[in-house]
Structure 1
Amino acid sequence: MGTTESETGGLADDRRLLGRTSTAERVADILRTRIAEGYFPPGERLSEDSIGKALGVSRNTLREAFRLLTHERLLVHRLNRGVFVRMLAVQDVEDIYRTRQLVECAVVQGLGEPPYALDKLDAVVAGGERCAREHDWKGVSTANIHFHRELVALAGSARTDELMRSVLAELRLAFHVVDDPRRLHQPYLVRNREILEALRGGARTEAEQLLADYLDDSRTQLVRAYAELLTDPE
């Protein structure tokens, strides 16, 4: 089923983000965020007409943005059918976690001597805990993703930040299919806090082990739930 103008997730409100230089990269950034937030779920066909009109961009600009997101494995082009938000395979989810383990643990391992700049990480952890108290499970999910993004940002590497932005956006495609943010994310709030406090105390090796165990458990849980849904979608 195609995306209609009324189902573009408020993209018209994002037109101001394009400024005077309506580049394909900026359009791709807007769409990447909307996909990550679940406005365009896995399997959804993206309408060039509706999205182009909502953002006020040309067909060529939009197609280039689609091409960029296809390269990032967020979209897939199907001949004579159009462009769709990608549906991950179980193997994709497993590979994403392998990448996360390599990158995130290496970042923590390479932090150097404390103290570390933990203000943003602290704010994200507190925000996730606040969302849980308010039973805002979508907010918990978002805070958990932001925790890992800010953890990697401690490396101070724009290239690593860009890699993780793409990896985490792709991972959220799986989260949207499982669609149970409380079960998937609430148990990890405590573990986010544990990792933060280990880093605050300068215990980098402990933080790295906590993170490795965390990612192993998260991968096992998500792969199991995701595989069950793909096998028995009812």
Structure 2
Amino acid sequence: MEAARDVGAGDDQKHRRIVAHWPRAETFAEIAIEINLHSILVVLLSATYREYQTFHCSTIRMFVFDKLESVGDCMIKENSLKTDYQSLVESAAARIREMLIAGQFAPGQKLSEHQVAAEFGISRNTLREVFRLLTSQRLLTYVPNRGIFVAAPDEAAVIDIYRVRLVIQKAAVQAATKGHPALARMRLLVEKGREFSHLGEWRQVGTVNMEFHRAMVDLNDSPRLGACFDLVIAELRLVFGQLVDTAHLHEPYVELNASLITALDEGDVISADSQLETYLLRSERGLLAALQRARRPNKPIALS
């Protein structure tokens, strides 16, 4: 390394003369600097034009390509490690999103790095990358000097969530075809929703309802739309998580889901599209009203 620096400093003019007669030398020099193969640089900078004439070009070529092959192997291994690490981060983030959709984390809940890392079997550094990813997706919130908290979406977020739902789900209804596998899953989820409704398990009804709409989006046959909708549904669950009594928000939609799947099964896209639009508008208004009531400070009852 020191030799390369000395030669480069002392023989700059000689190097320029070599490059003038040997245009490929500049390319080799740039490669050598870029990948820190100083031994190649020493060969190029210390050679005179006369030495080059007697130095067989194939020898240099073999030397250079041997070095580049070793570097290439290292780069492939490094890229493989980066891919594995990124997959680990995305996998952990997906698991946390599923837990949010299932209602296992409460809005505003502080997440302990130590506990979550131990539960997922990953390092705390990896978990921080997961937290950064989920924060960028508006599912977590970072508070300086306090830590990471589960997000608590407000009314503005609800309006935007339903705007996105309308676009994606109307496209799904319009793309529906008879016999699509997603329709069978939607029918099964309607029955599960009825079962939980009869048991009064309203959180489970909400989870099944979200799965119903995820299945509907699968009618688009678009993994990208599906991934986008997963983020929307996870954020929506965090809105419902701020409410204590959600029975009135879930109960009417069990049979509305059944009506939707009936229209889709019959191929009546116009009816399904109209039902969905009314469904989402009603759901948005009901959720906004419930969220406002939940955030309204309790006023003492005046005694007469």
Q: Helix, strand or coil for the counterpart of 1:84?
A: strand
Residues 34-113 of structure 1: pairs in structure 2 closer than 5 A: 34-111=99-176, 113=177
Note the C-alpha offset of 1:133: 1.9
Q: Deviations over 1:214-233 (max 9, x none)?
A: 00000000001101212326
Computed over aligned residues only, the root mean square deviation of the Cα atoms, in angstroms, reads 1.7
Match in the other structure for 2:225: 160
Say whether residues 1:26 and 2:94 are aligned partners: no
Note the C-alpha offset of 1:58: 0.5
Q: Helix, strand or coil for the counterpart of 2:148?
A: strand
* CA distance, structure 1, for counterparts of residue 244 and residue 217 of structure 2: 25
Match in the other structure for 1:176: 241
Report the more deviating stretch, 50-59 or 197-206: 50-59
Specify every segment of 5 or more residues in structure 2 that has no aligned partner in the other structure, as ranges: 1-83, 300-304
Q: Is the 8 A contact 2:101 2:207 kept in 1?
A: no
Q: Deviations over 1:139-165 (max 9, x none)?
A: 211111111100111111101110111
Say whether residues 1:136 and 2:201 are aligned partners: yes
Match in the other structure for 1:4: none
For 1:93, the aligned partner's letter is: V
Match in the other structure for 2:185: 120
Note the C-alpha offset of 1:37: 2.1
Q: Helix, strand or coil for the counterpart of 2:241?
A: helix
Q: Helix, strand or coil for the counterpart of 1:178?
A: coil
Say whether residues 1:203 and 2:277 are aligned partners: no
Match in the other structure for 2:215: 150
Name which of 290, 293, 297 aligns with 1:225: 290
Structure 1 segments of 4 or more deviating over 4 A? none
Match in the other structure for 1:9: none
Note the C-alpha offset of 1:181: 3.0
Note the C-alpha offset of 1:171: 0.3
TM-score (norm 1): 0.86
Note the C-alpha offset of 1:166: 0.6
* CA distance, structure 2, for counterparts of residue 35 and residue 142 of structure 1: 10
Sequence identity percentage: 36
For 2:131, the aligned partner's letter is: F
* CA distance, structure 2, for counterparts of residue 85 and residue 36 of structure 1: 12
* CA distance, structure 2, for counterparts of residue 233 and residue 31 of structure 1: 33
* CA distance, structure 2, for counterparts of residue 233 and residue 105 of structure 1: 39
Question: Which fold has the larger relative contact order, with Cα–Cα distance below 8 Å and residues 6 or more apart in sequence?
Answer: 1
Specify every segment of 5 or more residues in structure 1 that has no aligned partner in the other structure, as ranges: 1-19
Q: Is the 8 A contact 1:116 1:199 kept in 2?
A: no
* CA distance, structure 2, for counterparts of residue 149 and residue 130 of structure 1: 19
TM-score (norm 2): 0.67
Note the C-alpha offset of 1:44: 0.8
Match in the other structure for 2:71: none
* CA distance, structure 2, for counterparts of residue 79 and residue 48 of structure 1: 15
Note the C-alpha offset of 1:115: 4.5
* CA distance, structure 2, for counterparts of residue 55 and residue 110 of structure 1: 38
* CA distance, structure 1, for counterparts of residue 238 and residue 244 of structure 2: 10
